Amino acid sequence: MPQHRITLLPGDGIGPEVTASVVAIIECAGVPVQWDSYFVGAEAVSRFGDPLPQEVLDSILRNKVALKGPVTTPVGTGFTSINVRLRKTLDLYANLRPVKSMPNIVTKFENIDLVVVRENTEDLYSGLEHEVVPGVVESLKIITERASTRIAKFAFEYARAHNRKRVTAVHKANIMKMSDGLFLNCFRNVAKQYQNIQADDRIVDNLCMQLVIDPNQFDILLLENLYGDIVSDLAAGLVGGLGVVAGANIGENGAIFEAVHGSAPDIAGQNKANPLALLQSAVLMLQHIGEMDAARRVQNAIVKILASGPEHRTRDIGGRGSTSDFTAAMCETLRRGTRASD
C-alpha cells in the first residue's frame, strides 16, 4: 500500500495529546502514513521566535495535506492567530464542517446530518477597515464573482461526491442587494450545471430560526465568510458543541484538517482531553486522501465507542475515561473489526 505523507502540527496545550491519540488510531486503522511533525504557535515562538515558521508552510505545500491541533493565541498582545495566516497564505478557500448527531451525546434533536460550507477568504474578513473621520469607521465587505463561484462549485462537488441531495445558499440579498446578490447569482449559475442536486436559498436570519426549530430539513448549507462563521458554530451546538465536530480548510494548494476547539490549558497534560473533534477531522482527511474504507471503519468505531460504556468516553461528554482509555478502546474496536472481516 503506498504511504501517505502528511504534515502534522500538534499545536499547544492539549494539542500534542489529542494528535498523538489520533495518530495512534490512524495507525490502528492500518493506514500507512509518514508524518512530518512541526512546532507551531506558542511552542514555535519560544523555540524559533515565529509561531508559523516558513518550513511549516513549505511542508504543507509539498504534502498538500496537514492535520493540526489547537494553538494558543495570546490575548491582547503577542502574535496574531496562525489559523487566519494559514488560510490566507495557502488560499484555503473552503471551510467544511459536517454536523452529525452522535450516540450518547444528548441534544435537543436527533438524527441531525447536515454540512456547513463556508467561504473562507473574503467578505468582512478581508481586514479592510479604516476611520473615515473621527468617530466614523468603515469596514469593507468584499464579495467577488471568482470566490463566490468557486465556493459554490465546491459545495455542489461535495454534494455529488457524498451523495447529498440539496444545497441551500444562505444570504441577506434582500438588504445587501449587490454583494449578497452577487454571491446568490453565482450560486444560481453554478447550480445549473448540477441538475440532479436540488438548489434553493434562505435569508440568513430566517435560516437561523429554522435551524433551531427543525434542523433536519437541511442538507448542505453554503454561506459567505461571516454568516458561515456564526452559523457553523450554531450548527455545532445542535450536536453537542465544538468538542465533537470536525473542521477542514481546503483549497487548491492543500488542505488542513483541524480541531475547532482551543488548546484547553486548564486540562493540558492531564490525560483528560477528548480527541474526538480532531479524530472526526481526521476522518474527513482520510476521505480527502482517498482512504474511504479506513474513514468508514474509523467512523463506525467512533459510533460503537460512544454507544458503549462511559469508561471509554472522556469526562467532557459525560464519560469516566481518559484520553488513553478512548484511544485504546478505538484501537481495540478497529482491530476487532479487521479480524471479523478477515
Point out the catalytic residue in the list 38, 93, 125, 158: 125
205 is catalytic: yes
Of the residues 12, 68, 123, 172, only one is catalytic, namely 172
End-to-end CA distance of the chain, in Å?
17
Q: What DSSP assignment string belongs to 282-306? A: HHHHHHHTT-HHHHHHHHHHHHHHH
| Pairing of the two strands 254-259 and 65-68 | parallel
Nearer to ligand NAI, 231 or 267 (CB): 267
Closer by beta carbon to ligand NAI, 69 or else 172: 69
Piece of 107-115, 202-210, 264-272, 301-309 that binds ligand NAI (CB under 6 A): 264-272
Nearer to ligand NAI, 167 or 248 (CB): 248
Shortest distance (Å) from residue 92 CB to ligand NAI: 13
d(CA 4, CA 35): 8
The answer for residues whose C-beta is within 8 angstroms of residue 170's C-beta and 6 or more apart is: 201, 202, 203, 204, 207, 221, 222, 223, 224, 227, 231
Closest by alpha carbon to 256, among 94, 146, 124?
Answer: 94
**19 part of the interface to ligand NAI, by CB under 6 A:** no
274 forms part of the interface with ligand NAI (CB under 6 A): yes
Binding of ligand NAI by 72 (CB under 6 A): yes
Which of 110, 131, 266, 342 contacts ligand NAI by CB under 6 A?
A: 266
148 dihedral zone (left: phi>0; alpha: psi -120 to 50; beta): alpha
Q: How far is the CB of 62 from ligand NAI (least distance, A)?
A: 22
Determine if 261 is a binding residue for ligand NAI (CB under 6 A): yes
229 is catalytic: yes
Q: Which of 229, 233, 316, 325 is catalytic?
A: 229
DSSP 8-class letter at 121: S
Report 216-255 residues binding ligand NAI (CB under 6 A). Answer: 243
What is the closest distance, in whole angstroms, from the C-beta atom of residue 105 to ligand NAI in the complex?
13
**Looking at 27-35, 58-66, 108-116, 263-271, which segment touches ligand NAI (CB under 6 A)?**
263-271
Taking each helix axis as running N to C, give the angle between helix 323-341 and helix 292-307, from 0 to 180 degrees, rounded to the nearest 10. Answer: 120
> Nearest to residue 7, comparing CAs of 46, 75, 60, 53?
60
Does the annotation mark 108 as catalytic? no
Give helix then strand counts, H and E, for the chain: 11, 12
Q: For residues 274 and 322, give the distance between their C-alpha atoms in angstroms, rounded to a whole number.
A: 8
Among 7, 83, 121, 249, interactor with ligand NAI by CB under 6 A = 83
Binding status of residue 316 toward ligand NAI by CB under 6 A: yes
Name the strand (E) or helix (H) holding 94. strand 94-100
Please list, in sequence order, all residues whose beta carbon lies within 8 angstroms of the beta carbon of residue 229, skipping any fewer than 6 positions away.
Answer: 118, 125
The yes or no reply on residue 321 touching ligand NAI (CB under 6 A) is no
Told to judge if 266 belongs to the known catalytic residues of this protein, a careful annotator would answer no
Binding site for ligand NAI (CB under 6 A): 14, 18, 70-73, 83, 243, 258, 261-267, 273-274, 277, 314, 316
Q: Which residues are catalytic?
A: 125, 172, 205, 229
